């Protein structure tokens, strides 16, 4: 009888260890979203500038990321370089990205440059940023995508159009999940303008 009791305690202990392991591996993210990342590299090249500053350049980089909510994020660049401070951070050139939210039309983003965090998928697009979503076209200098928070901050806006409307504002913040939108001017004395053409 004593052996069976010991055996039962061992089984319960193993079950508890298994549950703790599964929880830590799959559910410890604060947002309860597990991101699976696929990396596709084509024509990898390593270019060394000199003995002190050796940097690796990846040509035709593409990352595909999926989360458990059914959303997908694809980012591509003609070239990418690791930063010397952190291997998780990439400096991208000639960037295109697409956000596929479940049951919504895709959001397409183009820019000359971006800073991409491979771990969080957060991306800072800058210089000639163009956003295309449904009938909305926005041209700006900066777009910060906080993928882990499902949040976009678009600022230094040059042009924002939707069908026959044109918006004049400095900054737009958009929550991808709730669709909450905030439109602001840098100068509180200036007003947001909407023109019909």
Please state, rounded to an integer, the average pLDDT across all residues of the chain.
80
> Residue 3: is its pLDDT beyond 90?
no
Residues 79, 139, 154, CA angle at the centre, nearest 5°?
Answer: 85
DSSP 34: P
DSSP state letters, 69-88? TS-EEEEEEEEEEE-SS-TT
Dihedral angle, C-alpha 44, 48, 49, 55, nearest 10 °: 70
The 10s digit of each residue's pLDDT in 84-95 is 777 789 999 999
Query: What's the pLDDT at 29?
Result: 44
Where are the chain's structural domains?
A: 1-30, 33-196
CA-to-CA distance for 67 and 125, rounded, in angstroms? 21
Q: Specify which residues 61 forms β-bridges with.
A: 41, 77
Query: What's the pLDDT at 1?
Result: 54
Residue 156 main-chain phi, psi, to 5 deg: 60, 55
CA-to-CA distance for 134 and 118, rounded, in angstroms? 28
The 10s digit of each residue's pLDDT in 25-72 is 555 444 434 444 444 444 444 333 443 344 578 888 898 888 777 888
Name the least confident of 2-11, 99-108, 117-126, 178-187. Answer: 2-11
6 or 92: which leads in pLDDT: 92
Tell the CATH superfamily of the 33-196 domain. Answer: Lipopolysaccharide (LPS) transport protein A like domain (2.60.450.10)
DSSP 171: E
């Amino acid at each position: 009888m004593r052996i069976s009791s010991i055996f039962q305690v061992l089984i319960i202990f193993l079950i508890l260890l298994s549950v703790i392991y599964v929880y830590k591996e799959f559910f410890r993210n604060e947002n309860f979203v597990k991101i699976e990342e696929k990396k596709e590299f084509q024509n990898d090249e390593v270019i060394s500038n000199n003995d002190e500053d050796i940097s690796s350049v990846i040509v035709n980089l593409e990352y595909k990321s999926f989360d458990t909510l059914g959303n997908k994020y694809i980012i591509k660049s003609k070239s990418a370089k690791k930063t010397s401070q952190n291997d998780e951070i990439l400096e991208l050139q000639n960037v295109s990205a697409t956000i596929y939210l479940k049951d919504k039309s895709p959001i397409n983003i183009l820019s000359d440059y971006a800073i991409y965090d491979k771990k969080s998928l957060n991306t800072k697009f800058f210089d000639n940023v163009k956003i295309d979503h449904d009938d909305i076209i926005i041209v700006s200098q900066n777009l910060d995508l906080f993928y882990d928070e499902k949040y976009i901050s678009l600022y230094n806006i040059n042009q924002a159009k939707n069908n026959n409307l044109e918006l004049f504002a400095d900054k737009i913040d958009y929550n991808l999940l709730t669709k909450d939108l905030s439109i602001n001017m840098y100068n509180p004395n200036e007003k947001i303008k909407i023109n019909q053409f």
